[in-house]
Amino acid sequence: MSGCPFGHTGESADANRPGESNGVGHSGEPAAVVTHQEAHDGGVATSAAEGTSRMSRRGLLSLAGVGGAGAVAGLAAGFLGHDVLTAATASAADTTAGDAAVPFFGDHQAGITTPAQDRLHMAAFDVTTEDRKELIKLLKDWTAAAEAMTTGNPTGKTGAVDGPYDAPPEDTGEALDLPAAKLTLTFGFGAGLFEKDGKPRFGLDGRRPEALIDLPHFPGDDLQPARTGGDIVIQACADDPQVAVHAIRNLARIGFGKVRVHWSQLGFGRTSSTSRAQVTPRNLFGFKDGTNNLKVEDNALLEEHVWVGAGAGPGEQWMRGGSYLVARRIQMHIEIWDRTSLREQEGLIGRTKGVGAPLSGGEEFTTPDFSLAGRAGEPLIPMDSHMRLAHPDQNAGVRMLRRGYNFTDGSDGLGHLDAGLFFIAFVKDPRTHYVPMQLALAKGDTLSVEYLKHTGSGLFAVPPGVQAGGFIGEGLFA
Amino acid sequence: MFLPASSSPKLRRTLAVIGAAAAVPLVLAGCTDNTKTTGATDGPIQVSSTANECKVSTGTAPSGNLTFAVKNEGTEVTEFYLLAEDGLRILGEVENIGPGITRNLVVTAPAGKYNTACKPGMQGEGIRASFEVTESGTKPSVDADFQKLLDNGSQQYAAYVKDQTEQLIVGTKAFAEAFAAGDAGKARDLYASTRMHWERIEPVAESFGDLDPKLDAREADLEPGQEWTGWHRAEKDLFPPAEYTAMTPAERTAISTQLVADTEDLVTRTRTVELTPDKLGNGAKELLDEVATGKVTGEEEIWSHTDLWDFQANVDGARIAFENLRPALEQKDAELAQSLDEKFTALQTELKKHAKGDGFVYYNELSQEQVQQLAALVDSLGEPLSKLTAAVVL
């Protein structure tokens, strides 16, 4: 079955994959290249936004270094992205390529509705100190470092090369010369921050939100303790893996003695789109993923399904404007999948592999018709297909904002790739927006039952965004 | 046919494949092995199906493998057929094409006169046109007795399933009796060897979506609130992990009674299962998938560590299916038949190394290197085995 269905002719192959060869933001690439060049030639550039002499590792925010209005529009759009971004500005943001910075401050944390970057480094930490003041200090230090790194600057006052000759540099330096690459850092708190071994911690008695549940065991779970849980999570997304890894590395370094990395995960190849300006990417099964995802342009839906509202109890007001992050490490039996016929693959997914149209017809974004029947009255979109079971129509209308990544962590030692999908979703309430759907999928979705295995898991309360002068999770400690 | 919600995913898949392939032995709608395409045409023949038209880009093609790329440009579900000159015999069909979707139909056609037909709305005679296949010198390997070979294979496998279920029920009763009586030693002795009869016919047994979880659910597969019965429930009691609370005699009796009742139900139901060549081929592949995802990792028998018994039984089941299809496969792809033969032998030889008495060593006694060797042999068999169905049904 080599290359089928694309193997028959080059023509039809191209016709079936609109935009794939072009990629996202193609039109912005030439400009980006020029910009790069200018930044490099310019050497140490000045951050216009701050007006300091600190070395920016990224000359792009410097208005002088940018080929004019394009980057300014990109910056503005990126900023608006936290709040009320229209489809038009999202499109503008996307076409300014990978060099723009995504502002750290805002009503909501960046890295949720921000158009999904290409790379991920996520780390979950155990808090080892029991001192509330130390924890608050750490969150303040992390806030400062995150703000610096997301705007393209090194961490610390002296960065990677401007410190004392006889001291280790404050910043580790591997991101020098690299652009901000749309780095976002998103922080969340796990249940272990509020209580451990039945005892409250950090004086946070009564502050654990009810929605921050202990996830139930789902059929087929094979969770490994070393990939599960954590007291604090940090999601670093960027268009450059080195920038994302640099960010986590420096935050972990700042945290030594107070926190310890419990697990971390690298991801490549975003598996969903969070903006209509993005082409739907493919997962490791070769299918488009995230076609029906919530997008940054869906403001009303985001309020309804992603952002925590005012409804929670008095001890939970600190979560207003926040969200809940579900992380699941899903191993895919990709070798077995590759031995499966195209007919069966499409039936399991419920969409065509080529253009990603629902099997009931149309194009990628055509609304699926779950009742349309073919031969013998059997629905064209099978009853046990992944797309049908995950669709809002089958889940009391609930939706989530998915932000997953492909991963490959080498091999399993038996000649199979240890690869799959690192699933990340942001929801208003995991009790209504994740657990029922995951239960339904774990039971009825043949794809889940036969080709997937969940090996890691985490649920985190993601506080709202930070304003200048504040720090991450400030409301929780007020 | 409408399938109730409780219907097994595997059943759905199996029926879907039967629906597609049973009536059309020479064709697998969808796509084909490119290596067998012998330059019959330059690219697929384009077909456009609308409410009242069935446009075929050419009315003639040289003999060999023909590919029709059928695009539904209408608003209803459509189908496309290649019919013999008499307009009755179907050489190939592709069904369930939703509006806007393109599907390929690959047919092996000797020289002669044919008819094409689109059937928008899946109703009536369809919109027909004549189609000619000219002699290209490439002789399609179609034998008049081919269907008979396939039928024989299916019948032989049905007899095998019958035999295995009969042995399964006898063994299950003996096991249940010992387990209920608290004779743990005897029950442990019977556990792995009895389960082999189940594992040999697993794809057939699993096609009953309600029985499979009752008989074979692992603890990790349970959903909250689901009652745990079947083999692995007994396994945990017979090979208890640390800090495990043993079942009471009453609980053991209940599990035993249920196990026998469910197995009897299974035996009855397998008598009416219709086996087709594609089901044999896919079943063989699924058995190897089971080995690759469950047995080779030691996850199936997490307490008893008798995975090698299951492993051997899955391989047995796959090998019997292959051997039943082998006469047909020899005609279509002798090379694949030979390759599968060699790979089954290599895997069996390796498995034999771990035999002990009437059974095997426990899985946790294997070295990492030995597990890796088994895994590599499973992969080298699984890959060509996944081509078996298309090779005999196409």
Burial class (CB in 10 A: 0-12, 13-18, 19+), B229: buried
Interchain proximity B12–A446, CB inside 8 Å: yes
Please tell me which residue of chain B has the smallest CA distance to A366: B100
Interchain proximity A4–B32, CB inside 8 Å: yes
A chain contacts of residue B30, beta-carbon cutoff 8 Å: 4-5, 341-343
Whether B330 contacts chain A with CB within 8 A: no
User: How far is the C-alpha of A13 from the C-alpha of A79, rounded, in Å?
Assistant: 38
pLDDT (tens digit, 9 = 90+) per residue, B142-163? 555 788 888 899 999 999 999 9
pLDDT at B140: 55
Distance set, CA B341 to CA B154, B313, B337, B393 (Å): 19, 17, 6, 19
Nearest by CB: A344 against B13, B69, B101: B13
User: How far is the C-alpha of B89 from the C-alpha of B84, rounded, in Å?
Assistant: 5
B141: left (phi over 0), alpha (psi -120 to 50) or beta: beta
Percent of chain B past pLDDT 90, that is, above it, reads 67
Q: Kindly report the backbone phi and psi dihedral angles of residue A294, in degrees, each rounded to the nearest multiple of 5, phi listed first.
A: -65, 140
As given in the structure block, the two tokens for residue A342 are 């195209």
Interchain proximity B293–A383, CB inside 8 Å: no
Burial class (CB in 10 A: 0-12, 13-18, 19+), A195: middle
Nearest residue to B304 (alpha-carbon basis) of B170, B169, B194: B194
pLDDT (tens digit, 9 = 90+) per residue, B316-359? 999 999 999 999 999 889 999 999 999 999 999 999 999 999 99
Q: Which helix (H) or strand (E) holds A387?
A: helix A386-390
| Cβ proximity of A354 and A241 under 8 Å | no
Nearest by CB: B3 against A340, A383, A413: A383
As given in the structure block, the two tokens for residue B326 are 């082998």
Q: How far is CA A428 from the centre of its chain?
A: 16
Q: 3-class DSSP state for residue A128?
A: coil
Interchain proximity B31–A442, CB inside 8 Å: no
Q: How far is CA B94 from the centre of its chain?
A: 21
Residues 57-86 of chain A whose Cβ lies under 8 A from any Cβ of chain B: none
As given in the structure block, the two tokens for residue B227 are 């009652």
User: How far is the C-alpha of B16 from the C-alpha of B1, rounded, in Å?
Assistant: 10
Please tell me which residue of chain A has the smallest CA distance to B35: A2
Residues 6+ apart with CB under 8 A from A218: A438, A439, A442, A454, B223
pTM of the complete model beyond 0.90: no
Measure CA of the first residue to CA of the last residue in chain B; give whole Å: 24
pLDDT (tens digit, 9 = 90+) per residue, B264-316? 999 999 998 888 888 899 899 999 999 998 899 888 999 999 999 999 999 99
DSSP code for B278: H
Distance set, CA B5 to CA A379, A450, B11, B91 (Å): 13, 18, 11, 34
User: How far is the C-alpha of B190 from the C-alpha of B314, rounded, in Å?
Assistant: 18
The alpha-carbon gap from B267 to the nearest alpha carbon of chain A, in Å, equals: 25
Nearest by CB: A5 against B95, B104, B285: B104
Bigger pLDDT: A366 or B15? A366
B chain contacts of residue A3, beta-carbon cutoff 8 Å: 34
Whether A221 contacts chain B with CB within 8 A: yes
pLDDT (tens digit, 9 = 90+) per residue, A235-269? 999 999 999 999 999 999 999 999 999 999 999 99
Residue from A349, A375, A394, A412 whose CB has the most chain B CBs within 10 Å, to mutate: A375
Bigger pLDDT: B20 or A339? A339
Residue from A6, A342, A384, A457 whose CB has the most chain B CBs within 10 Å, to mutate: A384
Whether A15 contacts chain B with CB within 8 A: no
The alpha-carbon gap from A260 to the nearest alpha carbon of chain B, in Å, equals: 30
B chain contacts of residue A376, beta-carbon cutoff 8 Å: 1, 19
Q: Kindly report the backbone phi and psi dihedral angles of residue A456, in degrees, each rounded to the nearest multiple of 5, phi listed first.
A: -145, 155
The yes-or-no verdict on residue A216 having pLDDT over 50 is yes
The alpha-carbon gap from A389 to the nearest alpha carbon of chain B, in Å, equals: 12
B chain contacts of residue A353, beta-carbon cutoff 8 Å: none
Residue from B35, B68, B77 whose CB has the most chain A CBs within 10 Å, to mutate: B77
Burial of A5-29, coded b for 16+ CB within 10 Å and e otherwise, reads bbebeeebbeebbeeeeeebbeebe
Mean pLDDT (chain A, rounded) = 83
The alpha-carbon gap from B262 to the nearest alpha carbon of chain A, in Å, equals: 21
Residues 397-416 of chain A whose Cβ lies under 8 A from any Cβ of chain B: 413-416
Please tell me which residue of chain A has the smallest CA distance to B104: A5
Whether B154 contacts chain A with CB within 8 A: no
Mean pLDDT (chain B, rounded) = 86
Nearest by CB: A362 against B43, B95, B100: B100
B49-53, B61-65, B72-76: least confidently modelled range: B61-65
A420-440 mean pLDDT: 96
Q: Is the dihedral of CA A246, A252, A253, A254 positive or negative?
A: positive
The yes-or-no verdict on residue A204 having pLDDT over 80 is yes
Interchain proximity A443–B223, CB inside 8 Å: yes
The alpha-carbon gap from A458 to the nearest alpha carbon of chain B, in Å, equals: 18
Interchain proximity B1–A376, CB inside 8 Å: yes
Whether B370 contacts chain A with CB within 8 A: no
Interchain proximity A372–B386, CB inside 8 Å: no
pLDDT at B98: 95
CB pairs < 8 Å spanning A and B: 162
Residues 165-224 of chain B whose Cβ lies under 8 A from any Cβ of chain A: 220-224
Residue from B101, B212, B392 whose CB has the most chain A CBs within 10 Å, to mutate: B101
Please give the single-letter amino acid code of residue A127.
V
Residues 360-379 of chain A whose Cβ lies under 8 A from any Cβ of chain B: 360-363, 366, 372-378
Nearest by CB: A382 against B12, B35, B382: B12
Residues 81-110 of chain B whose Cβ lies under 8 A from any Cβ of chain A: 95-96, 98-102, 104
pLDDT (tens digit, 9 = 90+) per residue, A18-66? 333 333 333 333 333 333 333 333 333 333 333 344 445 544 333 333 3
Residues 6+ apart with CB under 8 A from B248: none
Distance set, CA B368 to CA A93, A345, A409, B267, B374 (Å): 51, 32, 19, 38, 10
Distance set, CA B318 to CA A203, B160, B200, B252 (Å): 61, 12, 8, 33
As given in the structure block, the two tokens for residue B141 are 């390997």
The yes-or-no verdict on residue B20 having pLDDT over 50 is no
Whether B73 contacts chain A with CB within 8 A: no
As given in the structure block, the two tokens for residue B156 are 């032989």
The alpha-carbon gap from B182 to the nearest alpha carbon of chain A, in Å, equals: 30
- Cα angle: B306, vertex B11, B25; to 5 degrees: 110
Nearest by CB: A377 against B1, B371, B387: B1
User: How far is the C-alpha of A248 from the C-alpha of B377, rounded, in Å?
Assistant: 41
Interchain proximity A446–B13, CB inside 8 Å: yes
pLDDT (tens digit, 9 = 90+) per residue, A131-140? 999 999 999 9
Residues 22-61 of chain B whose Cβ lies under 8 A from any Cβ of chain A: 29-35, 43-44
B chain contacts of residue A336, beta-carbon cutoff 8 Å: 289, 292-293, 382
| Cβ proximity of A9 and B44 under 8 Å | yes
Partners of A120 in the β-ladder: A237, A267
Predicted complex ipTM = 0.77
Can you spell out the DSSP letters for A258-272?
TEEEEEEEEEEEE-S
Q: 3-class DSSP state for residue A407?
A: strand
Residues 122-151 of chain B whose Cβ lies under 8 A from any Cβ of chain A: 122
pLDDT (tens digit, 9 = 90+) per residue, B109-128? 889 999 999 999 998 889 99
Where does A283-433 show beta strands of DSSP type E?
323-332, 401-402, 405-411, 417-427
Whether B296 contacts chain A with CB within 8 A: yes
As given in the structure block, the two tokens for residue A187 are 């922080």
A chain contacts of residue B98, beta-carbon cutoff 8 Å: 357-362, 372, 380
Nearest residue to A269 (alpha-carbon basis) of A158, A421, A161, A388: A421
Whether A420 contacts chain B with CB within 8 A: no
User: How far is the C-alpha of B141 from the C-alpha of B336, rounded, in Å?
Assistant: 15
Whether B389 contacts chain A with CB within 8 A: yes
Q: Are strands B78-84 and B112-118 parallel, antiparallel or unpaired?
A: antiparallel
Nearest by CB: A1 against B31, B289, B299: B31
Contacts 24+ apart (CB under 8 A), A21-29: A23/A279, A24/A94, A24/A277, A24/A278, A24/A279, A25/A94, A25/A95, A25/A96, A25/A97, A25/A98, A25/A277, A27/A95, A28/A70, A28/A94, A28/A95, A28/A96, A28/A97, A29/A97
Percent of chain A past pLDDT 70, that is, above it, reads 79
Bigger pLDDT: B249 or B275? B249
The yes-or-no verdict on residue A233 having pLDDT over 60 is yes
